[in-house]
Structure 1
């Protein structure tokens, strides 16, 4: 089985983390210990892997994927977003109206208040909250999810239609994330977050339905379960973006099923289903670290990964 090799972007990221690791103990990172205490106590309900932690993970992807070099390079050039820059908070009045961002209103407001309270950037608070949330969920990677701080403020709203939707074709999803800088394998790696998440707005007849029958645990079961043919609608029928599930009370996204069986992603999907917890969790952490730098200049950031709690 062939796996993807490290991209140039990944090498830049790894080199940057290695050369700036010493900065994690300096004064630049001190504020993040205060943020950590506040976010764990008040937002994540004492460090739980609950709804706010799930929403923080979702927000981190939706903010970071708002980046399109293809748009910048078009003729005439168009603004393609700056990726993980916090535009979803700073320009919430615009971006929360995008269909793909439905349901993020509460977490956007909570993180805006935290960022303003501690005078940190919106881009940083989004990726910090996501990294902390992974540490709150059982089954996370044995090492911390990387957290680089120092993102400049967003300058304008990211364009609409840059976040993949659950009803998109595999080709459309892979083209979109590829434009932003993620490989097909990295997209599949990031979907491990669905094992701790639930849906609120796709099927309104069953709000809060988990994707996995063991919610709040980051595990390979999500990948195995998605390979099992579905035969029931968990709610009162089919909604756009929803696929049949094999288990009552379990929600399944159309896009997850499509990626699980597509020729470009099925082998990697199976490798995560059968390759063991440690491999899946490690790849998820690496993909999150790369995603958190989309559209950013790693050379101006500093490493505060030591602040992130070690996953349970």
Structure 2
């Protein structure tokens, strides 16, 4: 436990060091055979990975289906960790290295669509699978307007453990089960809600296979707070032919609402944290950045990693403030946080609209 505490302190220190480096002018070294330059020459090869990834995986740096898939595999690979031992090795790429086993788990359904191209990228550039997964997640968030600029540490060794089934929380699990699993991996309830920020660019392909690409909020191509608003709206809509396991009625036509999101947004242990992000994108990104920095090094000795955060692009700004969707009103919000009222938000003009699915790339 002392080692884990030390590793966490080093990781936190690294985050602050990254912030200081970005704010302080420093000399960069030109990368060989490239137009890029780097503070740390050891990071130069990651610019080559970035160029390849943006062109051939993220469709020219689009915030699309592959972006949310990259965040999904980053979570599913890392969360197999347990502070008590006896489970997976954390953020080590085992979901790719042992894909013949782990990709067969029901919770990992559909992840092979991102695991396969990431494996090819890692092999082509001589990178570990743990590194390529966490790098892809950081790049994906940077490709989304309003996204955070996540830390990226390189140098994870290849996976040595196979992560057992049952370590990824399912959308049909109770809040008690989800919180217990996250606590076993070392995350608080507040950190869990911060990680669920990823759902703002997410869409469902496998919950109901008849309606692939169904988004979880009305702005799936933007990293914003809408998931924390719209999950609290009263239910009116059942997408597809009927409710599937892990799904509850949605607030807008064209949306899907996960049972786990619905219940976490209304549980007394998590409701106020959920609501705190609704009109505060800065706070949401701060908490998400910290939680992702922790997730990305689960099971790793950060003293052996190299800070290559400089390679991660700077995200575009989202200029649209948080809003209530057209046709909705403050009275449609389920007030779940007992401590403070839900913030007053502007309402989109016009009639209520159906949300389009996220198109496949």
TM-score by length of 1: 0.91
Q: Aligned partners of 2:186, 2:135: CA distance in 1, in Å?
A: 21
1:6-155 alignment, distance < 5 Å: 10-18=8-16, 25-70=39-84, 72=85, 79-141=86-148, 144-155=149-160
Corresponding residue to 1:184 among 163, 167, 189: 189
How far the C-alpha of 1:287 sits from its partner, in A, is 1.2
Corresponding residue to 2:273 among 268, 272, 294: 268
Q: Aligned partners of 2:104, 2:192: CA distance in 1, in Å?
A: 24
In 1, are the aligned partners of 2:92 and 2:157 still within 8 Å (CA)?
Answer: yes
Q: Which has the higher contact order (CA 8 A, sep 6+)?
A: 1
In 2, are the aligned partners of 1:203 and 1:242 still within 8 Å (CA)?
Answer: no
Unaligned runs of 5+ in 2: 29-37, 317-361
- RMSD, aligned α-carbons: 1.7
Q: Aligned partners of 2:206, 2:191: CA distance in 1, in Å?
A: 25
Between structures 1 and 2, the one with greater helix share: 1
Q: 1:35 to 1:102 in 2, by over 3 A?
A: same
Q: 1:294 to 1:239 in 2, by over 3 A?
A: same
Query: Residue 308 of structure 2 corresponds to which residue in structure 1?
Result: 304
In 2, are the aligned partners of 1:89 and 1:108 still within 8 Å (CA)?
Answer: yes
In 1, are the aligned partners of 2:70 and 2:140 still within 8 Å (CA)?
Answer: yes
Question: Which whole-Å deviations, capped at 9, do the CAs of 1:150-186 have from their partners, x for residues lacking one?
Answer: 1011012111100000001111111111111111111
Q: Who wins on radius of gyration, i.e. which is larger?
A: 2
Q: Aligned partners of 1:307, 1:147: CA distance in 2, in Å?
A: 8
How far the C-alpha of 1:203 sits from its partner, in A, is 1.2
1:290 is aligned to 2:303: no
Unaligned runs of 5+ in 1: 1-6, 73-78
Instruction: Indicate the SS of the match to 2:150.
Output: coil
How far the C-alpha of 1:14 sits from its partner, in A, is 1.7
TM-score by length of 2: 0.79
How far the C-alpha of 1:12 sits from its partner, in A, is 3.0
